[in-house]
Amino acid sequence: MNATKPQVVVTRKLPDAIETRMMELFDTRLNLDDALMSKTALIEATQTADVLTPTVTDIIDRDIILAAGDQLKLIASFGTGVDHIDLQAAHERNIIVTNTPGVLTEDTADMTMALILAAPRRLTEGERLARSGNWTGWSPVSMLGHRIWGKRLGIIGMGRIGQAVARRARGFGLSIHYHNRKPVHGDIERELEATYWESLDQMLSRMDIISVNCPHTPATYHLLSRRRLELIKPGAFIVNTSRGEVIDENTLAALLGSRQIAGAGLDVFENEPAINPKLLTLDNVVLLPHMGSATIEGRLDMGEKVIINIKTFIDGHKPPDRVIETMF
C-alpha cells in the first residue's frame, strides 16, 4: 500500500465536505452520480483499491471479498450496521472492517420517538386529510387516536439507540420495558426505571407500544416471527427504525390489515427500497423512506469517522471502530 496516497473507492455519493477531505488525504475514487454499483463493479473496485468505503446499500458478500486483490486491507463502511458485509469472509482474508457507531444514536432515537407519537395519534392520516380538501372542520369524534402517556413501551435491543429512545419516552410518560441478550448495567436500569424481560414472548404480549432497536444479524432475522407477532395485543403499535429483516413483514401486514395489531410506524423494510404492496394500502401504518439517521450533522459525523478510521489504519494503528462482533 502507498502509505502517502492509498487508493480509496467510495461506492455512493457522500456529503461534499467529506468527499473534499477524502480527495485531499487519499487517492480517492468517488461515485459522483450516486448510482448503486453492480456486483461486477464492486469486484473490480476491490481488485485495485487499498480501502473500500461502502454504505449499507452495498452488499459486500463472500464472492466480492474472496475476489479482492491482496492490496485490499480495509473496508471502512459508511454506516453503523454491518449486516451487508460478510464479516467471516473478511476475517479469512485478513481484511479489517470498520463502521461508524454512536454518531447516529440521537438522530435515530428522535425518529423513533416521532413514530411512537405519529402512529397512535394518526398524524400522517390527519396530514393527508388536511391536504385533501375534504376536511369539514373539528368534530368531537373526528381523527381519534390513542394517548401514549401512561402506556408501556417495550424496547427490543437496549443498546445506545434503545437507551436514547427510553430517555425520550420517559419524558412522554411511558413506562419502560426492554428485552436484550442480558440486562443493562444496574445504574442505567435505575436511571430509566426500566423493567428487564428475559423472555421476549412474555414482554410482547404485555406491551402497548413495541420499538425495534436491535441490529439485523442471523440471530435476529425474523425475530418478530408470525408466532411472536400473534402474541401482540390487538391495541398495540409497532415501531421499527432498525432493519426490516427483523420483522416477518408479510405477517405484519396481514395483522395490521385485520386490525389484530392496531398500527405501525416503519422507517425500514424487509426488501427495501421495495415496500410490501400490502403496507402501501393500509391507513394505520406510517411509512418513511429509511430516513431515521438522515440529518446533515449525522452524515458529516459519519464521514468524519470513516476518515479517522482510514487515516488511523494508514498510519499503522488499529482503527478506533473495528468491527469485532455484533452486539445485541
Q: Which residues are catalytic?
A: 243, 272, 290
Cα separation, 192 vs 291, in Å, equals 26
Cα separation, 5 vs 1, in Å, equals 8
Residues 6+ apart with CB under 8 A from 70: none
Q: Are 197 and 178 in contact (CB under 8 A)?
A: yes
Q: Cell numbers of 175, please?
A: 413506562
* Sole residue written with cell 502507498: 2
Alpha helices in 31-159 (DSSP H): 39-46, 62-66, 87-92, 105-121, 123-132
Burial 7-18 (b: 16+ CB within 10 A, else e): bbbbbbebeeeb
Distance from CA of residue 96 to its chain's centroid?
Answer: 22
Taking alpha carbons only, the member of 83, 48, 42 closest to residue 65 is 42
Inter-helix orientation angle 105-121/123-132, to 10°: 70
Q: In what order do the strands lie in the sheet with 237-240?
A: 195-196, 175-179, 152-156, 209-212, 237-240, 263-266, 285-287
Cα separation, 188 vs 174, in Å, equals 16
Cα separation, 203 vs 228, in Å, equals 10
Q: How many CB atoms lie within 10 A of CB 146?
A: 16
Q: Are 75 and 94 in contact (CB under 8 A)?
A: no
State the first-to-last Cα distance of the chain, in angstroms, to the nearest integer: 35
For residue 29, with 0-12 CB atoms within 10 Å meaning exposed, 13-18 middle and 19 or more buried, which class applies? middle
